[in-house]
Amino acid sequence: MSGTSHNEYLAAARLIAQSRHMVAFTGAGISTPSGIPDFRSAGTGLWRKNDPMLVASATAFHHHPQRFYDWLRPLLLTSQHALPNPAHMALAELECSGILKTVITQNIDGLHQRAGSKLVIELHGSMQRFYCPVCHENSVNPDDVIATILAESIPKCKQCGSVIRPDITLFEEGLPVDAWQQAEREINNADLLLVAGSSLEVIPASSLPYEAYRNGCRIIIVNLSSTYLDLHADVILRADVAAGIPQIVQELKRLM
Ligand code: ZN
């Protein structure tokens, strides 16, 4: 448990029990226990070989779709086989019991939904959705597209023949406006924010927890490394989320 004491889990559980509108903010760290590598941060295995701008950018998608899909394929394959872990399950359980109102995630793997979470705001989109960027054909079947990508082909639009793209935010692109506005609304309504598995290094997403803090929202952070917001957090659990979040839920059950 990395030196986190029982008292801190109890303190986190008490804040949750007292909250009126609890929101979770999750990052790559909540999916690493499911075997999914960090997609955006530098220094992870994914970027050791590839410069992200050359493979995961809008330019790469438009000019080098083969290179783009060669980068996406292993990520897609990994997430197809990944299962939600106890951290995802614990958040879904908190939502089911009416305590957690929304999950705001930076992840694109869909694991929160597969764990049973219903109200998930995806700040960086989802690898499970695809569309044609030219004719905006939206009846694209994700299973067909994924099968095409895994067969090492480039998926093409049935209407206009253009290259189909995943509904994810690429380098050089802004965040999806709808998701951002929904997230801001939730952050403004929140009186308790649980930051889980995010080092809060990817901007602009990482500015949302600071906005919550400035609004007077209480903050719990469960993350293995430090974040810029630690200074303002009410409780910090230096723990693996897959162990830490279920333990908070256990404490909460004893309180309620
Ligand atoms: Zn099209």
The pLDDT profile of the chain, 256 residues, written as one tens digit per residue, is 445 678 999 999 999 999 999 999 999 999 999 999 775 554 455 555 567 767 788 999 999 999 999 989 988 999 889 999 999 999 999 999 999 999 999 999 999 999 999 999 999 999 999 999 999 877 789 999 999 999 999 999 999 999 999 999 998 899 999 999 999 999 999 999 999 999 998 889 999 999 999 999 999 999 999 999 999 999 999 999 999 999 999 999 999 8
Q: How far is the CA of 160 from the centre of ligand 1 (A)?
A: 4
Question: Tokens in use for 61?
Answer: 């998608």
pLDDT at 203: 86
- Between CA 193 and CA 174 the distance in angstroms is 24
Question: Residue 25 in contact with residue 194, Cβ under 8 Å?
Answer: yes
Q: How far is the CA of 145 from the centre of ligand 1 (A)?
A: 13
The residue whose two tokens read 């980068």 is 71
- CA angle 220-37-213, nearest 5°? 20
Provide the β-strand partners of residue 192.
Answer: 22, 218
Q: How far is the CA of 161 from the centre of ligand 1 (A)?
A: 6
With CA atoms as reference, report the closest residue to 56 among 46, 122, 37, 30.
46
Question: Tokens in use for 213?
Answer: 């803090």
- Give the catalytic positions in this structure: 124
Query: What residue ranges in the chain does DSSP mark as E strands?
Result: 22-26, 100-105, 120-122, 125-131, 165-168, 192-196, 218-222, 235-237
pLDDT at 137: 76
Provide the β-strand partners of residue 152.
Answer: none
Counting Cα atoms < 13 Å in the Cβ hemisphere of 45 gives 6
Provide the β-strand partners of residue 234.
Answer: none
pLDDT at 252: 97
Provide the β-strand partners of residue 105.
Answer: 26, 122
- Between CA 144 and CA 130 the distance in angstroms is 10
Provide the β-strand partners of residue 120.
Answer: 103
Q: How far is the CA of 167 from the centre of ligand 1 (A)?
A: 14
Question: Residue 13 in contact with residue 252, Cβ under 8 Å?
Answer: yes
pLDDT at 5: 78
Q: How far is the CA of 129 from the centre of ligand 1 (A)?
A: 15
- Between CA 238 and CA 154 the distance in angstroms is 42
Amino acid at 239: A
pLDDT at 2: 46
